[in-house]
Structure 1
Amino acid sequence: MSENSCELGIAITTYSRKDMVCNLVERIRALTRGNYKIVVCDDGSSDGTVEELRKKGVTVLGGKNKGIAWNKNRGLFYFSNICRAKTVILLDDDVWPEIAGWEQEWILAASRVGHVNYIPSSYTRYSPDRPMTATNLGVGPTVGGMVLAQTIEALACVGYMDTRFGRYGHEHSDFSIRFLRAGFGGVRCRVGDELHNRFYLLDSGIKLLDAISSSSHDDLENNARLLNELQKEPVYRAPWCNEEEMVEFRAEFGSGFSEMNDPPFKEKTFDIDSYYKKHEDVYSSGWDAFAHYVENGIKESRDL
């Protein structure tokens, strides 16, 4: 495997929690196996976080304080376009691995369903039976967003978090719903005239530490409305929403950076009926059309 690729990419997001994120990096280094790379996405910390991490030899991505969606996109962008990973795990800085090889369940779960979420035990109202493992995933209507694992193939169909969510709130829910819409990470159930989301969940090998949240009531309310509005838009999102954001985002990765993977449906809309009509063998086999295209159709150069 080349120096510009890895089996597992771990992107930790942080903001002004120097001790917490440094401890997490050391913990991951002690307990993670195999070919992996860590990057820390720093959202404009002013407490010496960046300097301390670089002393430890950690790759740090970041710039101005831009909010959760933008910050997580730094890690997604890095592992999609610079050091390409087969599986990408997004971690908040208050997540704590508890066992050696903690990442293996997350890699296996992602390989099975494309995208999997963590839900902490504090979400008692929505919490499935525990423990949840890669071969016995939980299923529930709510996701925590503290840990998100996905394959690079699934990620190529969904892209990035939507920066219109701003500083905080529901960006991870929109991200996971788009995975569902693309055929990964859960199922969508119709109840009457409504679609209900059921996400695949995992809690294996980690716990959540106590930390002060940066959330605000106004952000959550505004973003809840935005979450509903965006369900009518295409599944794929770029890591920016306009030309100005694109220039600013890409500048964080250096003036010489120009390469970026194209989404598989660039300027196209996936039409289930058309795909089945063009590929009767897929219809006869019982495959879900979108899942077949992502897993087989792309590499077989099947026409949309």
Structure 2
Amino acid sequence: MTGKLGIGIITYNRKDALQNVIASIKSHTSTAHELIVADDGSTDGTPDLLKQKNIPHITGRNKGISWNRNRVLWYLKEEKLCDWIIILEDDCFPTIFGWERPWVNAIERYGHVNFMPEITIEIDNDISSGDGTPENPFIAPMHQALCVGYHAKALAYVGYLDIRFEKYGEEHVEHTQRFLRAGYGGLSQHLSPERGQLFYLRGGLDTLPSHSHGSHELAMRNRAIHDTIRHEPLYRHPWRTDEEMFEFREEISRVWPGPMPTLEGETQLFDGIISLGGDEIVNQAIEAHYGRTGSRLFDQFLTPFHTLISLFQHDFSELLSTKCLYGHHNALRCRDTLLVYHNCLEKQAGEHTSVEMFHAQLPLLRHRFHTMIQEIDSLCHRSQRVLFVRSWRDSLFYAGQHRPAHVASASFQTLVEAIAARYPSLDFRVMFVNFGKDHVADSRMIFANTDTPDTCSRDEELAGWGRMFSDYRIGLTP
């Protein structure tokens, strides 16, 4: 039997218990595995502890058990491509070396399996058969989530926990019943899967007494939600809206530990900062943080990265191409350059942009853009050191601000060489912001990411840019 094991821990405000679980997993697990902790916005110092101990972890806003368990499931299944996934709550821990081997065996056999602690067997024994082994698991109707095993193939059909459940209660029950409906992890009773019998393992794990973060009121609200969605289709995504997808993806992209930025020890002083676009947020952030800004040229239009390179290489000759213009979401796009003109035309409130309007204002646009290009050239020729800033976002469609993983890398080196060719005597740096984990070994480049969620208010976004400028010790000469 071949495959890859992933082990996850879900936690919230139980820092001391979490340390015990992590230590137990490390000392008692015999199989090579991926480890991840999902922290649901703890306020007790849990994220700092995990950083200090260099434990891989995902964190974000407090969103409840469904969202937090989905963080682990997604990361281990989609990012680490694990076949067998075991998730422990922060009050459940291994006690026997090699504890995971029976779990892998059972997950491979049944696709989904749960843990039954000894205290449950003693107090609430509702076991109909079995001895709690992979070959002959307990069969019982109860639902517990102290430790749960999932096979990636089963998850591919069943999907993730439903995030409509609030905070705590019913979320694991509903998810388990979908596994039963799909034929995994127990014996489903036709037409009433809530009465199905689940497979359980015993032994190798123990639990700590802990205070629940839920309440009876929450449990009743979640039970009502469960009754409403009971017969919906099996598969659920970890999100229900585009905004939730952006937030979830951003959390996954910030899994710790990631590549640490290389920061110079002293403040990096520049005579000027020039926005290379993405969108107008770059200049807004510069102005908000430093109280002054450079040319507004790249606020006038959205510039794809490859077009930005071409503009520098060809003396901005393609900037106002009138070939193949067409309407694009109340803006105009050029099919040749893919430039989107969205802020540059003079128009009345409520008036729609048109190709005719663009042609009518073309002389004014040529004069304005020529003046702005001269401002950039003048600053670069009279300055000793200049910082260029390029944001990833260059689309009217994309609601988030960070570059998703697995998309084509930009030609960072080509842009830097194009700027160097235009200003051969200039000492400059280019700060590439929110391009994720990209990196190029060239001292003229700085790669940075803001710490704000992928979708947030403009004030939060500007504050994130300010923190980033401070973290990288970017300063302007008086």
TM-score, length of structure 1 as denominator length: 0.79
C-alpha distance after superposition, 1:219-271 (max 9, x if no partner): 11111122222221010000012222112111212333356xxxxxxxxxxxx
Mapping for residues 136-285 of structure 1, pairs under 5 Å: 136-190=136-190, 194=192, 196-254=195-253, 255-258=402-405
C-alpha distance after superposition, 1:77-126 (max 9, x if no partner): 10121111110011100002110001111111110011001233444335
Q: Which amino acid aligns with 1:201?
A: Y
Say yes or no: does 1:107 pair with 2:254.
no
Say yes or no: does 1:21 pair with 2:27.
no
What is residue 269 of structure 1 aligned with on the other side? none
Which sits farther off after the overlay, 127-136 or 113-122? 127-136
What is residue 96 of structure 1 aligned with on the other side? 93
CA distance in 1 between counterparts of 2:10 and 2:67 reads: 10
Q: CA deviation at 1:178?
A: 0.6
Aligned with 1:77 (options 62, 74, 79): 74
CA distance in 1 between counterparts of 2:60 and 2:227 reads: 30
Q: CA deviation at 1:41?
A: 0.2
What is residue 427 of structure 2 aligned with on the other side? none
Any conservation in 1 of the 2:130–2:139 contact (CA below 8 Å)?
no
C-alpha distance after superposition, 1:126-147 (max 9, x if no partner): 5427851111201111111111
SS of 1:164's partner is coil
Any conservation in 2 of the 1:120–1:144 contact (CA below 8 Å)?
no
CA distance in 1 between counterparts of 2:140 and 2:83 reads: 26
What is residue 11 of structure 1 aligned with on the other side? 8
Any conservation in 2 of the 1:44–1:63 contact (CA below 8 Å)?
yes
Any conservation in 2 of the 1:69–1:165 contact (CA below 8 Å)?
yes
In structure 2, the gaps of 5 or more residues are: 254-401, 407-478
Mapping for residues 27-106 of structure 1, pairs under 5 Å: 27-106=24-103
Distance 1:256 1:33, change over 3 A: farther
Distance 1:186 1:245, change over 3 A: same
CA distance in 2 between counterparts of 1:210 and 1:75 reads: 23
In structure 1, the gaps of 5 or more residues are: 1-5, 260-304
Q: Which amino acid aligns with 1:222?
A: R
SS of 1:90's partner is strand
SS of 1:220's partner is helix
CA distance in 2 between counterparts of 1:119 and 1:9 reads: 20
SS of 2:183's partner is coil
Q: Which has the larger radius of gyration?
A: 2
CA distance in 2 between counterparts of 1:52 and 1:131 reads: 39
What is residue 119 of structure 1 aligned with on the other side? 116
Q: Which amino acid aligns with 1:42?
A: D
Q: Which amino acid aligns with 2:46?
A: T
CA distance in 1 between counterparts of 2:252 and 2:119 reads: 37
Over aligned residues, Cα RMSD in angstroms? 1.9
